[in-house]
Amino acid sequence: MKHSIAIEVNGEAWALDVEPGEVLLDVLREKVGVKSPKIGCETGDCGACTVLYDGVSIRSCLVLGVEADGHEITTLEGLSHDGLSTLQQVMVEMSSFQCGFCAPGIVVAAHELLQQRPDPTREEVQEAIAGNLCRCTGYDPIVDAVLEAARIGPGDASQGKGP
Amino acid sequence: MTQTYVGRADEANAMGTLAVVGKGTPRIDGLDKLTGAAQYVDDMDFGAALLHAAVVESPHGYARILSIDTSKAEAVPGVVKVVTGKDFPYTFGMYMKDRYIFAQDVVRFAGEQVAAVVARDARIAKRAAALVEVEYEALPPLLDPVEALGDGAPLIHPDLGGYEHVPWFFPKENTNIAHWRKTRRGDMEAGWAAADVILEDTYTVPRYAHCAIEPHVVVAKLDQARRLTLWTASQSPYTQRDVFAQALAPLGLSHQDIRVVTPYVGGGFGGKAGVSMEIIGAALATAVPGRPVKVRWTREQEFYNTYQRQGVVARIKLGARKDGTITAIEHEMLWDAGAYVEYGANVVNAAGLSATGPYRIPNIHIDSLCIYTNLPPGGPYRGFGYSEFHFGLESHITRMAEAVGMDPVEFRKKNAIAEGDTLAYGEPMNPSGLQEAIDRTAAAIDWGVEEVSDDPNVAIGKSLCLFWKAPAMPPNASSAAFLKFNEDGSLNITVSGMELGQGYLTVMAQVASEILAVPPSKIRVETPDTDRNPYEWQTVASHVTWSCGNAVAAAALEAREKIYKVVHDARGYEEGSLYLEDQKVKCDTDPDFQMPLADFVVAGIQMPDGTFRGGPIVASGKFMPEFTSALSDPETSQGGHPNVHYTVGATGAIVEVDRETGKMRVRKAALAADVGKALNPTLIEGQITGGLLQGLATVLYEDMRFDENGVLLNPTFTDYKIPTSKDVPDEIIPIIIETPQPDGPFGARGVGEHTMIAAAPVIADAVADAVGVRLKAMPITAERVALALLGGGQEAS
């Protein structure tokens, strides 16, 4: 039996019918067409499907579509609606990524951190992205970029919008 | 042997005035990957016709298939097709055709594909696959390569003698030895006689998983006109097309009918080289013509049915004089190659040609045996055999240094291979900055300075190991590039190497940029489509920067010649007086002349009479290492030239070890690699940081466990621990050495794999230095260190 849900994805309202067992990740990818949250493990281990759920980072493979009814979802696509964020800009400039598959989840997780702690320590950054597996970079380049984005801060318009 | 064909750019290289090459140019795929624009195979939309497949797998490590009943699965609403091995009695394989697309009468590892269900929905396919009834007669599995060599061991492949394979493999019929690489040089008796100390021991390296975050996925469609298109997450579009064409030839399909499209790929590390699960997609497409069908591996399948890094049991006997000169090495490697070795046998081959390590050794006796077992297929993994054998070899080198009473770094410096030294297969060693790599790594970790922790429970050890690796390639592995200019003076380059994350697209743009004076921001390098992009063997072996870099340089040079010719034809300047700078053609003899590329590279140059000269500038380039040959004496490996060159370097570490818990912490790691020329130092530092952690993970964290039936017990990230952001060394010091490779683009050679090769022995040595425990089997987890400490320094068995 299908359930009707109403969710907001990156500021846009969606009314959708979902199966009872359908996870939010599949709803986003298959029914909304938002493809930045990736399928990496489907067990909540890798963090490639990380999205913001009412502003809080979650694994979208562990949340059912029906649970998301009435909630706001933000993905990487939503963070760069009006230009790159400082973090995105810095990661591009510093080449702080490799294959890019984990990047959408990592940017979302780091975005949440910078919202809450605009001036984090290295350990806090490591902690914030500890649930996002990256097999390419060895993490240091990503942590460096998050710290650099924090140092620049969201206020510098030339560096893009938001943290 | 100096490289001269790059012309002015090469002169600039010599003078240190390169504009783009050698700079940390930001990656050209940054916007794609940081905005969500980057498309991976699973992100592509195929519309309402898309079908999904689920695979029925063997629960047994070794069993005969007695019967398969698909009727219940076929009756499930939404199921379109159910296939079994009988539908595809075709073999496939890259270097040796020892696999069927689906198991025929026998399954040889737990997880092997037996049947598949194609349905309109992935959930329906999965449900129906569970309803396929397979009756097996279980057989006792052979899980240990040493047992598989024993007298009376059952033959896992009784038909081995009939398998088609490349000419440099030597399978032993009526055994489980799929390939035996023998390398012999010098006089072993004389070598042992000259030694004051002979040290012999055995080291064990288990299996490992690549753990790219993107699982394997393929979408395949055989259209109504019998055109087979495959979208794959792959390192090897052209090699895949070739393997598909050979396997599906009985269905009347050949290369011209098959197209492989490979967009961005979410990590490879060797796991997405060649063809593994993609063959299932290719076959299923032929069963449901007209409709695309997707096969996407779960994380579990990713662990047990792609390739695994092969395990190896390595016995090393080393002789040295009291002055520290190594006189002889005997190195026997027994490889647990798994159920199928169509790719893995070449890993065994590569190790067998190079298992001296980067040392000058006159007397050499190497045996590298590829042994069938009933475990998942072994195959390529970053390091391609070298990551595996360096653990034992470098541990042993350190122990030999101690045995002759020499400092391990001094011992290595004394024996380190140098340019012109004779390699194990008889050819001379290429230019090498190994001594500089050792010195700078030693300096980075304050070698010789003892460090003491404030915590009395914590001991601190230091270590320094060497590494080397050559690309393992067929002698005719080649690269090609197409290049075209656009109306605005921008460039499109098409190549068929894969952007695995290493930054290949960016480096190719830098090479073209340097020669054509067009900034990287105006160059697009496109991901492969075998219909449109020119040939590339594969993106493996750390060879694409070198090989495809040469092809792109050749294409750029051809384009430059065409640019000079049209300017000559239209304006009369001597071609030799023209040069490119800042997106313009300029002239040595007329400082006032300059013509922007954008003005004429498509439109041509207008003459006084209104006619035009020139037209669209397009060019191509290719590179093949025409000096290599895989033909040699099978009993000695002498007489050929199998490897193009070796990249060498050193890795050092300072490691804390808790005497009670065995817990280790890497305070500092340094890695020096001789990359020939750092085309983009930022990207090389990225390889060092990432590859080093991947190597440390194999020794500190990752641990694959099988049950007595050959079933992998921990095929999840919950139970197979790869490092998180909190599991990194406190500090990593990347060191770039540049001893030019004469035949490389701007002097470059590859470095992608090398960064993980020496990580494992570095930990073993540092633990031995810190607490006096010598562990001879990987992984070296805290638990095993603690148990060894409890055992008085002896390793618990």
One-character DSSP codes across B281-335: HHHHHHHSTTS-EEEE--HHHHHHSS-EEPEEEEEEEEEE-TTS-EEEEEEEEEE
Going from the C-alpha of B566 to that of each of B514, B562, B572, B615, the distances in angstroms are 21, 6, 9, 9
Nearest in space to B642 (alpha carbons), one of B345, B350, B429: B350
Tell me: the pLDDT tens digits for A130-146?
Answer: 999 999 999 999 999 99
Q: Which of A97, A98, A130 sits opposite B725 (nearest CB)?
A: A130
Q: Which two tokens stand for residue A118?
A: 């605009």
Give the pLDDT mean for A49-65: 98
pLDDT on residue B9: 75
In chain B, which stretches have pLDDT less than 70? 1-7, 793-797
B693 touches chain A (CB under 8 A): yes
Strand order of the β-sheet with B578-581 is B578-581, B584-587, B594-596
Which distant-in-sequence residues (6+ apart) come within 8 Å of A45 by Cβ? A133, B299, B716, B717, B718
Q: Does domain A3-77 have CATH number 3.40.50.720?
A: no
Mutation to test the B interface, candidates A49, A85, A87, A136, most B Cβ within 10 Å: A136
Class of A86-159 per CATH? mainly alpha
B502 touches chain A (CB under 8 A): yes
Nearest-Cα distance to chain A for B406, in Å, is: 34
Residue A155's pLDDT band (cuts 50, 70, 90): low
Residue A80's pLDDT band (cuts 50, 70, 90): confident
pLDDT on residue B711: 98
Complete domains list, chain B, with CATH: 8-38+480-623 (3.30.365.10), 47-139+226-288 (3.90.1170.50), 308-473+630-790 (3.30.365.10)
pLDDT on residue B7: 61
Classify A85 as helix, strand or coil. strand
Tell me if A129 sits within 8 A of A107, measured CB to CB: no
Nearest-Cα distance to chain B for A35, in Å, is: 6
Name chain A contacts of B36, Cβ cutoff 8 Å: 34-36, 75-77, 80, 104
Q: Which of B215, B499, B722 sits opposite A133 (nearest CB)?
A: B722
Residue A160's pLDDT band (cuts 50, 70, 90): very low
b/e per residue B671-681 (b: at least 16 CB within 10 A): bbbbbbbbbbb
pLDDT on residue B115: 98
Asked if A143's CB is within 8 angstroms of B35's CB, the reply is no
Instruction: Specify the pTM.
Output: 0.97
For chains A and B, CB pairs below 8 A equal 169
B695 touches chain A (CB under 8 A): no
Beta bridge partners of B651: B465, B671
CA B317 from chain centre, in angstroms, equals 28
* Chain A residue closest in CA terms to B30: A92
pLDDT on residue B686: 98
Instruction: Give the DSSP H or E segment for B336.
Output: strand B326-338
Amino acid at B87: D
Nearest in space to B699 (alpha carbons), one of B468, B394, B441: B394
Whether B137 is catalytic is no
pLDDT on residue A82: 78
Name chain B contacts of A88, Cβ cutoff 8 Å: 34-35
The catalytic residue among B575, B660, B753, B783 is: B753
Length of chain B: 797
Classify B124 as helix, strand or coil. helix
What is the rounded end-to-end Cα distance, in angstroms, of chain A? 42
pLDDT on residue B379: 98
* Chain B residue closest in CA terms to A79: B35
Q: Which of B265, B503, B732 sits opposite A140 (nearest CB)?
A: B732
Which distant-in-sequence residues (6+ apart) come within 8 Å of B259 by Cβ? B227, B228, B229, B230, B241, B529, B530, B531
Asked if A91's CB is within 8 angstroms of B36's CB, the reply is no
pLDDT on residue B793: 61
Mutation to test the A interface, candidates B725, B727, B730, B753, most A Cβ within 10 Å: B725
Q: For A60-74, A78-92, B56-70, B631-645, which range has the lowest pLDDT when averaged over its residues?
A: A78-92
pLDDT on residue A81: 75
Q: Which two tokens stand for residue B144?
A: 């240990």
Strands B491-494 and B523-526: parallel
Tell me: the pLDDT tens digits for A110-136?
Answer: 999 999 999 999 999 999 999 999 999
Tell me: the pLDDT tens digits for B152-163?
Answer: 999 999 999 999
Domain boundaries, chain A: 3-77, 86-159
B679 touches chain A (CB under 8 A): no
Nearest in space to B338 (alpha carbons), one of B101, B111, B634: B111
